[in-house]
Amino acid sequence: MNNKIFEMFVILDDIAMGLLLLLHAVVVWMNNKIFEMFVILDDIAMGLLLLLHAVVVWMNNKIFEMFVILDDIAMGLLLLLHAVVGNYIIPTASQGPKFTKSLLTEFRSETHDLGSGVDLICTNKTWNEMIHTIWKLNTERSQCTIASGFGVQDYDSCNDGKLLNNTKSGGSYLHIPFFSKADEGLYHCEAVYRDGSYSAEIKLSAEVPVSPQISTRLDIFRNGKREVVCSAIGGKPAASISWRNKWNSSATQSSTKNSDGSFTMESRLILPDHVPADNLSCIITHPSWTEGHTELIQALNHEESTASFSLQYSVLSVCSVMLMSGFLAACFILRTSVRKKRNKVWRPIYAMSTVEPRGPS
């Protein structure tokens, strides 16, 4: 083949490749969610070097042999850089992002309460340092992937409410809004940042739940106000309490953490005047019970409670009056007895000291 024709093909090939790489850099810059900044700079440099190579081949002069050598060395280094950078950029729409190779994987175990929100942190690197974060989940529910970052297109094959969020300081974490038994399993994460990469495998398990003890009572105050109280004592995690009634009335709830880590939930509901005589239902749910199971607690009928309270108050009042009357009677009898004894003692003394008057002598 004619050398001149071959050189022309080489020149056209270099020009075309250089222009395509420059065009590729522009496209990547316009949509930088697909690739990272290193690829953009790499493509620009390779495009310029290929154009320079075309100029050198066209001039074909001994003076430019040194430029050709330097050009080839620089291009070789850039190709190596492209190979390294390209390892981080292998997402596919069907399979999701793949992991890069990390030299160190940290193994951790975390335990959380059922029904609570869980935040899993992969690394303490801030978002402005991160290139991408990938989470691979192997749970009882499913095997799926969640990823986000500059080097990876946002991806979520879990579709169950889990999210990648950022803290105010810029840290990244995986948020599980409602932790259930189906979320137990292995959570493998990888964070690629400017200085390197980090991976961790987190074994996530649920805290063994403790069933609460249930109690109800009706409080009646001096002003006639009536308040029914429903309590779930010693539950772990805390139980949920609701009321089933036929009138519009809001309940007041309080939660107390006990020394053993359990919780005591208490819900108070004010009974309005002249409410129906139907039984009041306190409904309690807890993760330790079967899914969908509710514990129905029948509170005392308020009319029966009021009558019982009135009867107890009446009995107590009568007993108090009888006790007070007995005490006063005993005091009266004791005082009368003491007074009689005193009269018996002084009467003989007075009689002995009395002298009969003498008649005239």
What b/e readout covers 9-34, taking b as 16+ CB neighbours within 10 angstroms?
eebeebbebbeebbebbeebeeeeee
**Dist. CA 140–CA 203, nearest whole Å:** 12
For residue 276, whether the previous peptide bond is cis, meaning omega lies within 30 degrees of 0, is no
Sheet with 118-126, edge to edge strand ranges: 118-126, 171-176, 163-166
Amino acid 87: pLDDT? 43
Q: Which pLDDT value is given to residue 88?
A: 42
What is the phi/psi pair of residue 5, to 5°? -65, -40
Angle among Cα 177, 180, 181 to the nearest 5 degrees reads 155
Rounded Cα distance, 102 and 197, in Å: 6
**Cβ atoms within 10 Å of 88's Cβ, excluding its own:** 23
Assess contact for 150 and 131: CB atoms under 8 A. Answer: yes
The answer to whether 145 and 153 are in contact (CB under 8 A) is no
Q: How far apart are CA 154 and CA 149, in angstroms?
A: 7
Return d(Cα 305, Cα 218) in angstroms, integer.
7
The Cβ of residue 36 has, within 10 Å, a number of other Cβ atoms equal to 21
Helix (H) or strand (E) holding 161: none
Tokens of 21: 């790489």
Tokens of 189: 């994460």
Rounded Cα distance, 186 and 173, in Å: 16
Give Cβ neighbours of residue 24 (< 8 Å, ≥ 6 apart).
Answer: 43
pLDDT of the residue at 115: 82
Mark the ranges of the chain whose per-residue pLDDT is less than 70.
1-7, 9-11, 13-14, 16-18, 20-103, 127, 150-153, 246-248, 275-279, 291-315, 338-361
Query: What single-letter amino acid sits at 20?
Result: L
Region of residue 4 (phi > 0: left; psi between -120 and 50: alpha; otherwise: beta): alpha
Q: From residue 178, give the alpha-carbon distance in Å to each of 57, 121, 184.
A: 65, 17, 12
Tell me how far apart the alpha carbons of residues 260 and 172 are, in angstroms, rounded to a whole number: 32
Those residues with Cβ within 8 angstroms of residue 248's Cβ, 6 or more apart along the chain or in another chain: none
**CA dist., res. 301 & res. 279, Å (int):** 5
Would you say 114 and 181 are in contact if contact means Cβ atoms under 8 Å apart? yes
DSSP 160: S
Residue 292 pLDDT: 45
Of the candidates 73, 196, 176, the residue with the CA atom closest to the CA atom of residue 118? 176
> What count of Cα atoms within 13 Å lies in the side-chain half-sphere of residue 312?
7
Tokens 């003989």 sit at which residue?
Answer: 348
Query: For position 183, what pLDDT does the model report?
Result: 93
* pLDDT computed for residue 92 by the predictor: 43
pTM above 0.75, yes or no: no
- In sequence order, the β-bridge partners of residue 108 are 202
**Residues β-bridged to residue 218:** 228
